[in-house]
Every structure is written in structure tokens, then in C-alpha cells.
Amino acid sequence: MQVPFRIEDAAGAAARREAAVQQLRDETGIDEAMIDALVEGFYARVREDGLIGPIFAARIADWAPHLAQMKLFWSSVALSTGVYQGRPMPKHLPLPIDARHFDRWLEIFVVTANELCPPVAAKHFIERARRIAESLELGVANANKVLLAKGERYVRPFEGWTPE
């Protein structure tokens, strides 16, 4: 038997989500202003970085829309707000990146979060960033037909090398 959809069900779901978001805000101290500062500070460092900066520069001409999307992304990741509707994996699959790039991304993120956020919030952000980096690295490896075993890292083959 199919149960008819009721408006109060959607309203109840929205209320439960908002309560969960508020609980995360209360537990971590994270709010939109902190997310804005973290995203702005992080990507300022990324743009200056010698390893990952050029990868971003080759693909992002106008940073304002990217930063706006990243703020929505981190709101969804850190607070479960659901405001980000994108799909990050397909955007990362064709990039010329591997474990070194994910490690550098994470290193910059950790430094930025620890400098700009209180310890509880920084820990919350960093735990999620680690999971994101791991997931994206696995996805990129898989897209390049490399199946990683537990604990293995994806290292892209040197593209200028040919066997003798």
C-alpha cells in the first residue's frame, strides 16, 4: 500500500534537519562566517601554492563563483545543511592529480583550519577534509584503472618516461 505524501512530512523533515544543523553549530561553533573565512583563507593559499596552484589556475578564471560553491559545499559537509547540490567527483576525475596533490591540499587545509578556527571547529573540518581527500583519491585512481588496496596511495605514472 502506497502512503500518500503529506506536507507535514516535508515540514517535519525540514524541522529535523534544522535541529541537526543547529546541534552541529552548537557543538562546533561553526557558522557561515567561519566557513566563509576558512574557504577564502584556504583558497588564497591554494592559489599561491607551487604544486596545486597551477592545477586550479588552469581551470578557474573567475574565482568568485568557485568560492561561492565551495562555501555551499563546506556548509553541507560541516553542518549537513544540504545547500550544496553539486557532484565533486566527476570534476576531479580528469585532473592530472595523485596522492601528492591530495596530501598538499590537505596540508594547506589543516594549517588554514587550525589558524582560523577554534580547536573543536578545526577538528570537525579536518576530519571531513581527510575523508574527502581519501574519497577523491580513490575515485581518481579508479578512473585511471588503478584499484588501490587498503593503505595504498595513487601515484600517477610519470608521463614523460618511456622504457628503454
**Is the CB of residue 64 less than 8 Å from the CB of residue 40?**
no
CA separation for the pair 151, 130 (Å, rounded): 14
Q: How far is residue 98 CA from its own chain's centroid?
A: 16
The domain tally of the chain equals 1
What CA–CA distance (Å, rounded) separates 103 from 65? Answer: 25
Structural domain contains residue 14: no
Domain that holds residue 135: 29-143
pLDDT 10s digits, 11-52? 788 888 888 888 989 999 999 999 999 999 999 999 999 999
Residue 138 lies in a domain: yes
What CATH number corresponds to the domain at position 94?
1.10.490.10
Q: Sign of the CA dihedral 4, 7, 8, 11?
A: positive
Alpha carbon distance 6, 10 (integer Å): 7
Residue 152: inside a domain: no
Let me know: does 155 contact 98? Beta carbons within 8 Å. yes
Query: Which pLDDT belongs to residue 59?
Result: 95
Tell me the pTM.
Answer: 0.87
- Picking from 152, 112, 103, the residue whose alpha carbon sits closest to that of residue 130 is 103
Express each pLDDT in 84-143 by its tens digit: 999 999 999 999 999 999 999 999 999 999 999 999 999 999 999 999 999 999 999 999
Whether pLDDT at 163 is above 90:
no
The reply to whether 118 falls in a domain is: yes
Helix extents (H) in 49-148? 53-57, 63-79, 88-92, 99-116, 119-143
Q: In this structure, is residue 47 part of a structural domain?
A: yes
Burial 39-61 (b: 16+ CB within 10 A, else e): bebbbebbeebeebbebbeeeee
